[in-house]
Structures are given as structure tokens and as C-alpha cells.
């Protein structure tokens, strides 16, 4: 019983992890307005110089 | 924390799962603060995300198996180890899917499998994945493959380090994301934590163990091919424990050699300076317990486990269900109850193969007049004149003996896995609350 409950818990954790991976992939590929992207890129650029 | 656990085990479970998810997903969440790379496509990003999650899960396995008391105290080592097994399989799946997505969506990446010509980042990935496959196969099929426990444990540790170190080297080599400052700091911290845990388990903990040695006082033969190993603390006050808990024993060698074995204490928790472990001769280590000489040096790592009556001080009584050598923690609970003059009722349902095999048969009879104790022996192969219960501990037998007010007792089960599963299901059928049932697997590894 305890192990079957845990199997369900691990199943839910797996779904959350895979779901988040999918969401991450979608977020990284979505169309972002070019001005926002430029702002982010320049911020990254300056933080990497620092 | 312990009070909250008693009142709301689900809340604590959700808290730990939240912590686990947060650590596993943190590497991905950090990336969202940076601008996304251009033109890599959904499938490549998904593959990368699964790789990062798989690597974080593998790094977290070091924390799950480091026997950290705070984590372990919530649910017990057997639950933590089972979680470790299930999540390892999930991590294994994610890590395998991670390159397969690339091979399907970008077939030219198949060339990276040619380790003679592939760049170092790909070689690290192949080495890490190969180590992971060996680790999973040798862990799931250790017994069919006839791999002895001690060499397997050493191999398991080495492979785990190889997997995480090479996995991290692969991620650093790809460097698409890890070149980002925040990301490299995060992965550096994760790698450092895994390394510190390793140092703690392999060096610091064994060093503390050497400061508290024990000497074997005697080895007492018991019924059922069981030997009781009695240890006396040497130069210290012993190890305080709660009845039903267990410890890892290192016998006659340095604790730094990591050849330790888990056993439940069978003696009273009132006397922590003399600890007894009743061990059945079942394997390469346990077969030699009978030959251990008095005066042999021993070291203990413990106590561990939540399988103890001490956590339920306000329970109206206890139902103990033991099969074979599963009697060991129950014996500790009963002798401790006698010495503490516990006036609550104890029901012991004890399954054995034959009457002559019943470990602690005489000792249990001696406890009976000193405690409100009912003993129900269940024999699989009873003698001809046997008047008691026979066969298996099933629903009918349990219904006959357990109290009508099911929730008024705490139920402890320690037996072989098949019996534990059957008894647990039967108790569930009999409407015993799930939170009142506690189990201990005596074959942890």
C-alpha cells in the first residue's frame, strides 16, 4: 500500500517534471517582441562582461 | 516537526515533494531569466530540459542515500530507499530520452555516438549513460546476477560518482547554457553539495564511528538458525535508541571500508550500553556471525528508523505482526515495554514455519506474565498435536484477533515482503486507518 502510494507520488512528480520541461521548451521557442528580447540580451551581455 | 508528522503526514509529504521538485527544476527556472537562444527548436529545448532534470535528479540521489537524519526521520530509511529506486528509474528514462529526441529530430547527431571521432562532450555523455545503464542493471538484477552485496555497494558508489561527474562534464562541454554566469554558479553549487555529501558519508561519518567502538560480548544461539550478537560499548555510554530501530554494523574492520550491514536491535532500549542484534544466517555475512569471537571490535552507525512504538506514546495499545526474523524489532519493543512497566495491551501475531523454528519462543513466554501480552503463533507446518493457528496471516485470522475499534491501536508489521504486502492489504480491507500501519522491510538492500 505504502509503495503503491509512493509509486503514484513518483508518477505525479514525473508528470510535473516532464510537463515543466515541455513548458520550458515552449517558452524558449515562443515569439518574443524584438524590443524585449534585445533588452534581455543586452542585460545578459553586460552581466557577462561584469 | 515530529508532532506535525503525527497529525498530518500528508502535509509533510507535500513539503518534501515540493523541496524535491524545487531543487530538480531550479536549473531550468534560472534559465528563464536569460534571453532564449535563437532557432534551436522545441524538440532540442525539450531534450536539453530533460537532460538537465535527469542530471539534477541523479545529483539529488546523493542526498537521498546519505542517511541524513532530518530527511530519514520523517518516513524511515526503507521508504527513502524505495523513493531513491523509483526516482532513479525515472531519471534513467529522462536521460535516455534526452539523446533519443535529438537522434530522431536531428539524425546527424547520431555521429556523436562514434566515440573515436566525437568531441569530448559527447564522449562524456556516452560514458555517463553507459555507467548509468550498468548501475541500473546491476541494482535491479543484483540477485539474479549473483553479485555479492559488498562488491555491489562499492561498484554502486563508484558508478554514481562517474554518472554525475561525467554528466556535468558533458553539460559543461556543450556549454550552450552553462556559459551563463548564474547557471554555472548553480551547477557548481549542486556539484559541491554532492561532493560534500560524499565526503560526509565516506570520511566524516566513519571518523565519528571510530570514536565510539563496541566489543562483542557474546554470541548467543537462538531457535530458527538465528544468532544474537551482543555488543558492549567500549569507553562511552553506548547508543540511545527507540525500540524497533536499527543500526548499520561494521564488524572487525575499519568503518572507512564501508562494509556495513543493517540490523534491528532486539534488546531493551533501557540499556543502550549493551545492544543485541539477532541475525538469521541467510547470506555471506550473516552465515559467519556464529563464528564471531567475543572481544571482536565493532562499530555502529545509527540508530535509524521510524518503526518504533515510542512515536505513539498516546496509543491505547499495539498490534505487532511478525514473520520469521521480523520478530527482532518486536522483541525490542516488548522487552522495553516490560522494563518501562508499560500497562497497555500488546497483541503479537507471529508467523513461523515450524514450532521448533520459533525464534525467542521461550523468551516470549517469559514476558507474557510481566506484560499485557497476547501471543498468537501461526505455523505453516504445525506439529500433529498443534491446537493453535495454522497457515498464513490472512484477513480472517486478523479479523479474529485485532480489536473492533481498529483505530485505537498502532499496527507494526515486519516480515518477508510477500507477507507484508498481504497483511497490509488485509488490514486495509478491515478498515484499519492507513496512518496506523507501520512497516519495516528487513531486506533493505
Q: pTM for the whole thing?
A: 0.74
Shortest CB distance from B86 goes to which of A6, A24, A47? A6
B55 interaction partners in chain A (CB closer than 8 Å): none
pLDDT at residue number B176: 62
Give me chain B's average pLDDT, please. 87
Give the confidence band of A19 by pLDDT, cuts at 50, 70, 90: very high
Closest to B46 (Cβ–Cβ): which among A25, A32, A37?
A25
In 3D, which of B186, B201, B301 has the Cα closest to residue B248? Answer: B301
The alpha helices in B274-387, defined as continuous H runs, are 327-339, 361-367
Q: Among A2, A9, A43, which would you mutate to test the B interface (most chain B Cβ atoms within 10 Å of its Cβ)?
A: A2
Q: How many residues are given for chain B?
A: 445
Is pLDDT at B185 greater than 90 in this prediction? no
Whether B338 and B289 share a structural domain = no
Q: What are the pLDDT digits (tens) for B40-50?
A: 788 999 998 99
Kindly state whether A34 is in contact with chain B, defined as any CB-CB distance less than 8 angstroms: no
Domain boundaries, position B297 = 212-304
Domain boundary among B304, B326, B351: B304
Looking at the structure, tell me whether residues B28 and B102 fall in a common domain. yes
If asked whether residues B273 and B399 sit together in one domain, one would say no
pLDDT over 80 at A36, yes or no: no
Question: Do B429 and B300 share a domain, yes or no?
Answer: no
pLDDT band at B9 (very low <50, low <70, confident <90, very high): low
- Whether B89 and B231 map to the same domain: the answer is no
**CB of B35 less than 8 A from some CB of A:** yes
Q: Is residue B54 part of a domain?
A: yes
Last residue of a domain, one of B208, B235, B260: B208
In a domain, B172, yes or no: yes
pLDDT in tens, B207-226: 998 999 999 999 999 998 89
Reply yes or no on whether the pLDDT at B2 is more than 60.
no
In a domain, B393, yes or no: yes
Q: Are residues B117 and B148 in the same domain?
A: yes
Contacts of A1 in chain B (CB under 8 A): 424-425, 428, 434, 437
Whole-number Å distance between alpha carbons of B429 and B445: 29
In this predicted model, which residue has the larger pLDDT, A4 or B338?
A: B338
**Does the CB of A7 have a partner CB in chain B at under 8 Å?**
yes
Interface contact A10-B20, CB threshold 8 A: no
* Whether the predicted interface score ipTM is above 0.90: no
Closest CA to B45 of A27, A16, A33: A27
Whether B200 and B246 share a structural domain: no
Q: Does B336 share its domain with B231?
A: no
pLDDT in the model for residue B227: 92
**Judgement on whether residues B241 and B327 belong to the same structural domain of the protein:** no
Tell me if B162 is assigned to some domain: yes
Share of chain B above pLDDT 70, in %: 91
B444 in any annotated domain = no
- Give the closest of B17, B49, B79 to A21, CB-based: B49
Tell whether B266 is covered by a domain.
yes
Q: Which residues contact B416 (CB under 8 A, 6 or more apart)?
A: B323, B324, B326, B443
Note whether residue B282 is domain-resident.
yes
**Number of structural domains in chain B:** 3
pLDDT per residue over B141-165, tens digit each? 998 998 887 788 889 989 999 999 9
A-B contacts at Cβ under 8 angstroms = 83
Tell whether B279 and B404 lie within a shared domain: no
Q: Are residues B140 and B8 in the same domain?
A: yes
Is there a contact between B354 and B377 (Cβ–Cβ < 8 Å)? no
Note whether B332 and B277 are same-domain residues.
Answer: no
Q: Please check the confidence at residue B1 and state whether its pLDDT lies above 70.
A: no
pLDDT in tens, B75-88: 666 778 888 999 99
For position B435, which CATH number holds? 3.40.50.80
> Considering B304, B339, B370, which residue would you say is the last residue of a domain?
B304
How many CA atoms does the CB half-sphere of B3 hold within 13 Å? 0
- Look at residue A46 in the predicted model and tell me its pLDDT: 46
Q: Which residues of A touch B430 (CB under 8 A)?
A: none
pLDDT at A49: 41
Q: Which of residues 240-259 of B touch A (CB under 8 A)?
A: none
**Range scoring the smallest mean pLDDT among B68-82, B152-166, B229-243, B395-409:** B68-82
Answer whether residue B59 is part of any domain.
Answer: yes
Q: What is the CATH number of the domain that holds B242?
A: 2.40.30.10
Cell matching residue B165: 561527474
Amino acid at each position: 500500500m505504502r509503495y503503491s502510494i509512493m509509486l503514484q507520488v513518483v508518477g505525479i512528480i514525473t508528470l510535473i517534471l516532464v510537463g515543466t520541461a515541455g513548458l520550458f521548451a515552449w517558452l524558449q521557442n515562443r515569439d518574443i517582441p524584438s524590443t524585449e528580447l534585445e533588452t534581455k540580451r543586452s542585460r545578459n551581455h553586460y552581466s557577462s562582461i561584469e | 516537526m515530529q508532532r506535525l508528522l503525527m497529525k498530518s503526514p500528508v502535509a509533510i509529504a507535500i513539503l518534501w515533494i515540493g523541496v524535491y521538485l524545487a531543487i530538480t527544476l531550479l536549473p531550468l527556472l534560472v534559465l528563464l531569466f536569460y534571453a532564449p537562444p535563437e532557432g534551436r527548436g522545441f524538440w532540442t529545448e525539450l531534450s536539453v530540459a530533460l537532460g538537465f532534470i535527469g542530471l539534477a535528479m541523479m545529483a539529488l540521489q546523493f542526498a537521498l542515500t546519505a542517511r541524513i537524519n532530518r530527511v530519514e526521520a520523517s518516513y524511515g530509511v526503507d521508504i527513502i530507499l524505495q523513493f531513491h529506486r523509483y526516482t532513479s528509474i525515472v531519471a534513467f528514462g529522462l536521460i535516455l530520452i534526452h539523446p533519443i529526441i535529438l537522434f530522431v529530430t536531428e539524425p546527424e547527431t547520431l555521429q556523436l555516438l562514434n566515440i573515436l571521432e566525437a568531441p569530448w562532450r559527447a564522449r562524456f555523455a556516452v560514458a555517463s549513460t553507459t555507467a548509468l545503464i550498468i548501475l541500473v542493471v546491476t541494482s535491479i538484477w543484483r540477485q539474479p546476477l549473483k553479485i555479492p552485496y559488498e562488491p555491489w555497494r562499492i561498484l554502486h558508489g563508484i558508478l554514481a560518482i562517474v554518472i554525475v561527474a561525467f554528466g556535468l562534464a558533458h553539460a559543461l562541454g556543450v556549454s550552450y547554457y552553462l556559459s551563463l554566469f548564474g547557471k554555472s554558479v548553480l551547477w557548481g553549487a549542486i556539484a559541491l553539495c554532492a561532493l560534500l555529501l560524499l565526503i560526509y558519508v565516506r570520511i566524516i561519518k566513519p571518523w565519528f564511528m571510530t570514536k565510539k567502538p563496541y566489543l562483542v560480548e557474546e554470541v548467543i544461539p537462538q531457535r530458527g538458525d538465528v544468532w544474537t550478537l551482543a555488543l558492549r560499548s567500549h569507553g562511552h555510554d553506548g547508543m540511545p535508541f527507540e525500540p524497533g530501530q536499527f543500526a548499520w554494523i561494521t564488524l572487525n574492520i575499519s568503518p572507512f571500508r564501508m562494509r556495513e550491514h543493517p540490523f534491528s536491535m532486539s534488546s531493551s532500549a533501557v540499556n543502550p550500553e549493551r545492544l543485541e542484534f539477532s541475525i538469521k544466517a541467510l547470506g555471506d555475512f550473516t552465515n559467519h556471525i556464529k563464528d564471531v569471537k567475543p572481544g571482536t571490535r565493532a562499530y555502529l552507525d545509527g540508530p535509524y528508523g521510524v518503526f518504533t512504538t515510542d512515536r505513539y506514546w498516546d496509543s491505547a495499545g499495539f498490534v505487532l505482526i511478525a514473520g520469521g526474523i521480523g520478530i527482532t524489532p518486536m522483541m525490542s519493543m516488548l522487552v522495553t515495554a516490560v522494563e518501562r512497566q508499560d500497562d497497555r495491551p500488546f497483541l503479537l501475531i507471529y508467523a513461523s514455519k515450524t514450532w521448533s523454528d520459533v525464534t525467542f519462543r521461550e523468551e516470549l513466554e517469559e514476558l507474557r506474565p510481566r506484560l499485557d501480552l497476547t501471543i498468537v503463533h501461526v505455523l505453516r507446518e504445525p506439529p500433529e498435536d498443534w491446537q493453535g493457528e495454522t497457515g498464513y496471516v490472512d484477513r480472517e485470522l486478523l479479523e479474529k484477533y485485532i480489536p473492533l475499534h481498529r483505530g485505537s491501536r498502532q499496527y507494526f508489521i515486519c516480515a518477508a515482503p510477500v507477507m507484508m504486502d498481504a497483511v497490509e492489504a488485509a488490514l486495509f480491507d478491515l478498515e484499519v486507518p492507513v496512518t496506523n500501519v507501520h512497516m519495516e522491510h528487513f531486506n533493505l538492500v
